[in-house]
């Protein structure tokens, strides 16, 4: 018995050594990560190699529950050699069993977290064409939270059923489960609706992490997906918290459902004397010189004719919605400045015809 206890304590020491090693490796990796230079906007640290990444991040996530599990196993092995009475030994083993179940549930939740980290490292959202990365991250975020709920329910159930009183009361609980189930179902209907909507969203994916959406007139990006609600980061950095069932029951716009590529437009009201061909050439010059253009579409069309003005619509494509917005503003400002300098008569004018009264 003493030898078994020593083995358990030795295992705990090994886990502690692994913890210190992984923490030291992680600190070393952080110190080696180069800081972004002043002349570049790159702020992501350099990714280490796979072995260092495992020691520095993945194993570090699992260290907390491993530190708890190994000493609990050692204590369970050694408790019989302490000289407790049978009643005291039974209480001690029961307490260790509950603690070990909780620690194992903690470990399972951390394993799910490691899976999410692995996906985050292998699917980069910073790329222009990140549809596959958004799909994978969305599924993993929701499924991990569902797993955490299931693990919590399993741990609580096992701990409660370890008490003989709870097991003996099971028959009475089952007898009244019908009425209690109806009451609980009515009380938990909003929560259950959102949870089921979250599962449906993970499978069908009408929205994904980093999608550009318009929700109730608010333009923003999907920042976080939780089990019962979604956080939308609006363009002015406000956060819109929306129940997840909203995206199942209501229509909304998703600008990046198939691809992040977006067509932008700029409307101009100009005089009938405007040289449209010259405006088209100036538009092409402005767009081709912009870093926000993706090199695909640039078109100028006359889309309307009113009593005193015509409407020009400039169409241009961009890799994503942010670049498209910047390109629209650049084109609108550039065309107005060009008209003011080269064709001031093309700006909207109000014509009035004056006639002399009859004599």
pLDDT digits (tens, 9 = 90+) for 328-343: 999 999 999 999 999 8
In a domain, 17, yes or no: yes
In a domain, 52, yes or no: yes
In a domain, 204, yes or no: no
Looking at the structure, tell me whether residues 162 and 272 fall in a common domain.
no
Looking at the structure, tell me whether residues 130 and 272 fall in a common domain.
no
In a domain, 178, yes or no: no
Strand order in the sheet with 239-243: 239-243, 229-234, 218-225, 212-215, 253-254
How much is the pLDDT for 205?
Answer: 78
- Full residue range of the structural domain in which residue 304 is found: 262-346
Mean pLDDT of the chain: 75
Helix (H) or strand (E) holding 315: strand 309-318
In a domain, 322, yes or no: yes
Contact 300, 279 (CB under 8 A): yes
- Tally the domains of the chain: 2
- The pTM of the full predicted model, rounded to 2 decimals, is 0.52
> Which of the pair, 192 or 221, is modelled with greater confidence?
221
> Which of the pair, 201 or 231, is modelled with greater confidence?
231
In a domain, 196, yes or no: no
Whether the pLDDT of residue 29 is over 60: the answer is no
Residue 38: pLDDT band with limits 50, 70, 90: very low
Express the helix, strand and coil content of the chain in percent, nearest 5 each: 60, 15, 25
Contact 134, 211 (CB under 8 A): yes
Strand order in the sheet with 309-318: 262-271, 309-318, 293-305
Looking at the structure, tell me whether residues 8 and 123 fall in a common domain.
yes
Q: Which of 106, 138, 170 is the last residue of a domain?
A: 170
**Spatial CA neighbour of 212 closest among 141, 125, 100:** 125
Whether the pLDDT of residue 48 is over 60: the answer is no
In a domain, 25, yes or no: yes
CA–CA gap between residue 47 and residue 180 (Å, rounded):
53
């Amino acid at each position: 018995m003493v030898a078994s206890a020593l083995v358990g304590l030795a295992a705990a020491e090994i886990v502690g050594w692994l913890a210190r090693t992984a923490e030291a490796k992680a600190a070393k990796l952080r110190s080696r990560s180069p800081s972004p230079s002043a002349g570049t906007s790159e702020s992501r640290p350099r990714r280490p190699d796979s072995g260092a990444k495992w020691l520095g991040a993945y194993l570090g996530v699992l260290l907390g529950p491993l530190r708890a599990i190994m000493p609990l196993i050692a204590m369970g092995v050694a408790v019989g050699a302490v000289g407790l009475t049978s009643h005291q030994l039974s209480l001690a083993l029961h307490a260790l069993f509950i603690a070990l179940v909780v620690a194992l549930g903690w470990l399972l939740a951390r394993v799910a977290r490691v899976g999410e980290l692995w996906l985050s490292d292998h699917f980069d959202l910073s790329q222009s064409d990140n549809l596959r990365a958004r799909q994978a991250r969305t599924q993993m975020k929701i499924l991990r939270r569902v797993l955490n709920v299931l693990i919590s329910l399993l741990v609580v159930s096992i701990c409660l059923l370890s008490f003989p009183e709870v097991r003996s009361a099971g028959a009475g609980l089952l007898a009244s489960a019908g009425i209690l189930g109806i009451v609980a179902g009515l009380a938990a209907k909003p929560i259950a609706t959102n949870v089921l909507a979250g599962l449906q969203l993970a499978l069908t994916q009408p929205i994904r992490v980093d999608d550009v959406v318009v929700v109730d007139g608010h333009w923003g990006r999907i920042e976080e997906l939780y089990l019962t609600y979604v956080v939308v980061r609006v363009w002015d950095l406000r956060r819109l918290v929306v129940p997840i069932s909203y995206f199942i029951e209501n229509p909304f716009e998703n600008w990046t459902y198939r691809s992040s590529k977006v067509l932008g437009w700029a409307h101009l009201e100009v005089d009938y004397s405007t040289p449209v061909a010259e405006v088209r050439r100036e538009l092409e010059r402005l767009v081709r010189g912009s870093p926000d253009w993706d090199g695909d579409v640039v078109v100028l069309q006359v889309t309307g004719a009113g009593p005193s003005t015509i409407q020009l619509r400039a169409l241009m494509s961009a890799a994503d919605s942010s670049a498209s917005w910047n390109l629209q503003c650049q084109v609108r400002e550039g065309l107005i400045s060009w008209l003011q300098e080269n064709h001031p008569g093309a700006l909207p004018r109000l014509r009035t015809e004056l006639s002399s009264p009859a004599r």
